[in-house]
């Protein structure tokens, strides 16, 4: 007879989460939403960096 080393929790969403021990599952807390919503200055910085990089790559390809 085979027994799993970790008891499963049927309340967890998928098979991987069910196999995790309870102290691991409770360690992850969802991030609270900031008062400014979902868009931060870091998001803007990363978007502009990606936009400029793509624009430069396409411009160099066309030229």
pLDDT digits (tens, 9 = 90+) for 1-37: 566 665 555 565 777 877 777 777 776 666 666 666 7
Please report the pLDDT score of residue 43 as a whole number.
92
Q: Is-contact 8 18, C-beta < 8 A? A: yes
Please report the pLDDT score of residue 14 as a whole number.
78
Please report the pLDDT score of residue 27 as a whole number.
65
User: How far apart (Å, rounded) are the C-alpha atoms in residues 43 and 38?
Assistant: 9
> Does the structure show a pLDDT above 60 at 38?
yes
């Amino acid at each position: 007879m085979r027994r799993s080393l970790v008891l499963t929790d049927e309340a967890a969403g998928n098979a991987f989460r069910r196999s995790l021990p309870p102290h691991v599952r409770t360690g992850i807390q969802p991030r609270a939403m900031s008062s400014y919503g979902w868009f931060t200055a870091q998001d803007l910085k990363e978007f502009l960096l990606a936009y400029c990089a793509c624009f430069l790559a396409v411009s160099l390809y066309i030229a």
